[in-house]
Amino acid sequence: MPLFILLFLFIFVAANAYIISRGWQLLEAAGAFRRVYLVAAVLWATLFLAGMILKRTFDSPTADALWRTGSWWLAALLYAFLAAVSFDVLRGIFWVSGKRLPELIPHYPQLKLVLFAAFTLSMALVMGIGYYNGTRAKVTTLELPVRKNVPGRQELNIVAVSDMHLGAVYTGRSVRRWIAQINALQPDVVFLLGDTFDDNPAPVIRGNIGALFEQIHAPLGVYAIAGNHELMGRPAEAMHYLSQHGVQPLMDTAILVDNRFYVAGRLDRSAGERKTIDELAAPLNKNRPVIVLDHQPYDWDAIARAGADISLSGHTHHGQLWPVSLLTARMYEQDWGYLQKGAAHFYTTCGIGAWGPPVRIASRAEIVQLRVRFGAKL
């Protein structure tokens, strides 16, 4: 078994043992409910682990249901862990000062029960807000001036989305809502920036979700690149499936669209080997606008030097769950939002779907609209 899998299992089991034991201690005065809590917590954690493993390997509605239910444990685990650590730090401060909370606080077991109830209610509220943020996409609109002239076209209306994570959690219902929003923006061209599938494409194929992509109205086409999640699953099958439903995959290739501008789709860096941006851009006529699609927001200086005018990425989710967003903000030059380097425009979207639970605490699901003006002064 690979070392990283053993490490993940060790951390997962240790974290779960820690927070479940702390919950058990808080429920000292809860009577029989204490055992109900223990069984429910262990079962939920097991569902998460089983669902994560099975969804990648089995085409089964049962595997989908396991992941759909168990995935919520990820958010519960994170915030329960933060709450437990905070409480233990407080206990440690009193312990160092020679005092113990049970001796200082009357009815301490009953107070712990109140704390457990307060945390549970707070979590329900946070999850509700996060579910809204994770399932109701907002539209972010930017005006981008590109100095290159394009005969016969002064403007281009681009709509881009990333990280749909279609599968057990995000299904046809989500896609219908997203496509309605996309079509309402009247795009000239649509870009899918990777992680359209959540590892295994089987639930998408079984649910015939691909047919919904044929409803996208974009006169200049719909183009897709593969993200790291496609590459963890069955990438050839996933991208071929998109091609059968009106979406053109770009796998380390560049094409001339409308005989006016280039779209260069990079293979995700998780593939290990891919063309450098210079190799991909070398054959292109740099007098025409060049739009680069790269799932992960890296190599931006090289992309700007290669002559790109616009580069679009996703992948980060802006951390999805706070405080993970604090980490992604340090990991990437721009983990969410707009950045300009010379004449090149860069945008990292936080994504339209989510990994694991359909919950966003650090951001809200996003559709990006870019109104490009050609021949404009920067």
pLDDT tens across 50-77, in order?
988 888 777 888 888 999 999 999 999 9
* Every domain range in the chain assigned CATH 3.60.21.10: 138-374
> Any residues with CB less than 8 A from the CB of 336 and at least 6 apart, and which?
316, 318, 328, 348, 349, 350, 363
- pLDDT for residue 90: 86
* Mean pLDDT value of segment 103-129: 90
The CA angle 206-127-4, to the nearest 5 degrees, is 65
Between 168 and 162, the higher pLDDT residue: 162
Q: Does domain 138-374 have CATH number 3.60.21.10?
A: yes
- pLDDT for residue 106: 82
* Mean pLDDT value of segment 152-166: 96
- pLDDT for residue 99: 76
Determine the residue type at 259: N
Tell me: the pLDDT tens digits for 312-330? 999 999 999 999 999 999 9
- pLDDT for residue 219: 97
- pLDDT for residue 378: 63
pLDDT of 94 strictly over 90 = no
- In sign, the C-alpha dihedral spanning 349, 354, 358, 360 is negative
Look over the chain and give the mean of its residue pLDDT values, rounded to a whole number: 93
Separation of CA 254 from chain center: 25
pLDDT of 354 strictly over 70 = yes
